[in-house]
A and B are shown apart, each in its own frame.
Chain A
């Protein structure tokens, strides 16, 4: 055994996760015993039929929802043992989230939207605006700082969304159908960008998608159905 314990340990680990929702008196079970490991630097696509619990899985990973039972560990943090506000600040420092419908604030311009996560950090206005400019450059939106979301195409808005997700330089990106609302061309641009962030900046990415084409940009694809994963490794083919 030459590999140290730390290297052997996966970056993300779900163990025996159980999650259900209550509808009045009836309850539905989404996962009864979900297990998952993701290595640091991986790019994982999660596919599966509608209602299979893909978004629920991302919510558990991001800590905006908590499992009914089981362990959720990301890096050294055990999310299942943390309170709501601890998870909230953990999220601010460790992950970026990309939404299907971008979720930009319509009354803030591009730069202000991208700046939001930086307001949680002890940075000066100058430092913040330099960081914003850098990531806008990275997503190809340099010069659009003052533009408002409603004046942009879907693809551009999603690039703002990605800029916002990476501006605080988190190690992990969670994307819930980031291309679900885009045409093929814009979708491919976004996926290229995610691939770039994974390869060049070593971001670990978990992306939920319905689109098999999108899944091809990932290193690894998981199929979620009836509460369990069926893996299809793209690399191994």
Chain B
């Protein structure tokens, strides 16, 4: 071991031994680092959880057709003749057919409806989705968990499990007022916690007439006929229509949806965490400056014995880094315990409520930890430098 390391090592030991003398200010540094780390983990795990919820909703063998030059459900509009043409077509459209030889397609439209929540009595906007009878079968992860599907043409709904547990009056057989009319809950469905579970499904015609949207179709959902289906479908759509019509795999749609929202969450999260980190760095600087002045006699003593400036610098810096490390671990562990799996909900796509679980993954813990450690590295550097510049003669004058 080189002499520099021996010097640094013994100074670190002396440093840490003297920590109890400045316990409170050191604790405040540890806690502020922990706070920054947990806030960042909170935001990032929210974004992550959101992505996970949406990504698991989509399937590669289902495509969504949008019209009107958008690839969002809101604002999309499918002209009725396009659907007629598609259904009438005898050739290969890229869409799978059922046992009767009919295309497996579901015309759909989304209507936001206000529903009162059990826990706090607040009104929340939920997504009511009108769909054709083939609609439920086009949700690969979803299955009935109780009751039955809505009957075609009737004002019945099936609701996601999450809604049933979170909102009042969604038991099977209950009557719920959605918009101007009452609807009967026919069944519940589960979809592995994905975004679908935050939706209410009903018959297409019933929704169109209840909300005065006759003939209005936002999107069409289709089952693709094998892996080449999407290409064929896109070619057919491009040839047959004047207005811009796009078809994209359902999984792509949800990923693009989640990207917008999760990047928005991150866009808020990072600046907040960074601002807090700047504050914490100022705090760390203050803590370490007082550590240097608290240890000034000891530093001056060993420097008088011939210890190097390097040792004074690195021992102070290491103290700062160790404290930020403790803070980082505290923050990471605490937020993992609190946030991981925590139920949250947010405005999902289409301005409707969507529930998801926060997901604290190792890579985002790592990101937050790097920020936490940076606080000690940056905040400790200047005090460490100050430790090397300590005027020995006057520091020793105060030793009495």
Residues of A whose CB lies within 8 Å of any CB of B are 55-56, 59, 62, 64-65, 85, 88-89, 91-93, 97, 99-101, 103, 105-108, 112, 116-117, 119-122, 164
Contacting A at CB under 8 A, from B352-400, are 392-393, 396-397, 399-400
Task: Determine the chain A residues whose CB is within 8 A of the CB of B392 once the complex forms.
Answer: 59, 64-65
Contacts of A106 in B (CB 8 A): 17-18
Contacts A92-B305, A105-B14, A120-B7; A64 near B393 (Cβ below 8 A)? yes
Cβ 8 A contact of A112, one of B10, B301, B309 = B10
Task: Determine how close the nearest CB of chain B comes to the CB of A133; give it in whole angstroms.
Answer: 18
- In the complex, the answer to whether A107 meets B306 with C-beta atoms within 8 Å is no
Within the complex, the shortest CB–CB distance from B243 to chain A, in Å, comes to 79
Assembly CA distance A103 to B299 (angstroms): 10
- Contacts A97-B304, A103-B396, A120-B307 aside, 6 further interface pairs with beta carbons under 8 A come to A56-B393, A64-B303, A64-B304, A88-B303, A103-B301, A106-B18
**Known interface pairs A107-B18, A116-B305, A117-B306. Does A99 touch B7 (Cβ–Cβ under 8 Å)?**
no
Asked if B31 is an interface residue, CB under 8 A from chain A, the answer is no
Shortest B252–chain A CB gap in Å is: 61
- Cα distance A100–B13 in the bound complex, in angstroms: 25
Which of B14, B301, B309 is the one whose CB lies under 8 Å from A85? Answer: B309
B residues adjacent to A (C-beta < 8 A) = 3, 6-7, 10, 13-14, 16-18, 297-298, 301-309, 392-393, 396-397, 399-400
Contact flag A65-B393 (CB < 8 Å), given A92-B306, A105-B301, A106-B18: yes
A-B contact count (CB 8 A): 75
Bound-state CA distance A62–B306 (Å) is 10
B394–chain A nearest beta-carbon distance, Å: 9
A sample of 12 inter-chain contacts (CB < 8 A) reads: A64-B392, A64-B393, A85-B308, A85-B309, A88-B307, A101-B400, A107-B14, A116-B302, A119-B3, A119-B7, A119-B307, A120-B3
Q: Kindly report which residue of chain A lies nearest to residue B306, judged by CB atoms.
A: A92
Q: Are A116 and B10 in contact (CB under 8 A)?
A: yes
